[in-house]
């Protein structure tokens, strides 16, 4: 992904759309946690699944994002 292709963090819907192309349906979870500051438990509740499921889905999504973006991905677990 080039800098020119970057999506502003102030537009979570556009960010979710771009991330969905990379990591699938858990893009909203990643944005809620990594960008908007929700805990995985809070984000999972809002998105309709429990804390354990949110934690695991977030981990898997971040692994996939790191595979797609390589060193450019600096999202914490």
Looking at residue 62, what is its pLDDT? 92
Q: What is the rounded CA–CA span in Å between residue 16 and residue 27? A: 5
Q: What is the total count of domains within the chain?
A: 1
- Between CA 34 and CA 27 the distance in angstroms is 10
pLDDT at 14: 86
pLDDT for 3 equals 39
Q: Which helix (H) or strand (E) holds 55?
A: helix 51-69
pLDDT value of residue 4: 41
Q: Residue 1 falls within a domain, yes or no?
A: no
Does the residue 16 lie in any domain? Answer: yes
Kindly report the CATH number assigned to the domain that includes residue 32. Answer: 1.10.10
Give pTM, 2 decimals: 0.80
Per-residue pLDDT tens listing for the chain (77 residues):
443 456 666 788 888 888 898 899 999 999 999 989 999 999 999 999 999 999 999 999 999 988 888 777 676 65
For 50, the domain range is 9-72
* Domain contains 60: yes
Q: Is residue 2 part of a domain?
A: no
Q: Which residue has the tokens 């537009």?
A: 11
């Amino acid at each position: 992904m080039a800098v020119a292709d970057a999506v502003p963090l102030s537009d979570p819907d556009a960010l979710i759309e771009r991330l969905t192309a990379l990591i699938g349906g858990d893009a909203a979870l990643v944005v809620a946690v990594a960008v908007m500051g929700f805990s995985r438990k809070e984000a999972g509740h809002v998105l309709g699944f429990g804390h354990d499921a949110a934690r695991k889905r977030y981990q898997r999504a971040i692994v996939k994002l790191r595979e797609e973006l390589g060193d450019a991905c600096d999202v914490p677990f």
